[in-house]
Amino acid sequence: MPELRGRFVEAQPLEPADERIVAVRDSAIAGFLDLIGSHVSNLFVDPQHQGQGIGTALMAEAARRVVGDLTLSVFTLNPDARRLYERLGFRIEGVKTAPFAGSSAEVWIMRKPRPGKWPSGDTPEG
C-alpha cells in the first residue's frame, strides 16, 4: 500500500485488544492477529513470511475462538488482503471512511457469516 506508507509511524503503539494471537516461526514472531470481541482489529505477517499460509492459519485460530460472525475492515487500497478474506468466506457489507493516523482512509467492512450462538442448554442440530 504505497499510498499509506508514509502514514505509519515506527513507534506507534498497537491499540489494546481482547486477545492477541501470535504466530511463531523458528523461535521468532512471524505474525499476529488481534481480536476485539468478534472483530479482527489487526492482522500482520512479517513480509519475509508472507504468502506461506500464516495469515490463513491466524484467521483459522481466530475463527476457532469466536462464536458467531467474524468482522473486519480493510483499506480499499489493499485488494490483495481483500482477496484473501473473500477466499476465507468474508463478504463485503459496505464501505466507510475510518480515522487513520490523524486523518482518514476508506475501508471495506467485511463479515464472515457463521452459525450463531446457541442459548445455554440448547445444542445445534446436525
Ligand X SMILES: CC(C)(COP(=O)(O)OP(=O)(O)OC[C@H]1O[C@@H](n2cnc3c(N)ncnc32)[C@H](O)[C@@H]1OP(=O)(O)O)[C@@H](O)C(=O)NCCC(=O)NCCS
Nearer to ligand X, 44 or 100 (CB): 44
Hey, which residues between 64 and 83 contact ligand X (CB under 6 A)?
74, 78, 80-81, 83
Nearer to ligand X, 65 or 117 (CB): 65
Paired residues of 92 in beta bridges:
110
Give the residue among 67, 70, 65 at the shortest CA–CA distance from 88: 70
* Dist. CA 16–CA 87, nearest whole Å: 28
Q: Minimum distance between the CB of residue 123 and ligand X, rounded to whole angstroms?
A: 32
Give the Cβ contact number of residue 55 at 10 Å. 21
Spatial CB neighbours of 116, under 8 Å, sequence gap ≥ 6 = 67, 68
Hey, which residues between 39 and 58 contact ligand X (CB under 6 A)?
43-45, 50-56
Q: Determine the size of the site formed for ligand X (CB under 6 A).
A: 16
Nearer to ligand X, 83 or 117 (CB): 83
Nearer to ligand X, 4 or 117 (CB): 4
Using CB under 6 A as the binding rule, whether residue 84 contacts ligand X is answered as: yes
**Helix, strand, coil % over all residues of the chain, rounded to 5:** 20, 40, 40
Give the binding site for ligand X (CB under 6 A): 43-45, 50-56, 74, 78, 80-81, 83-84
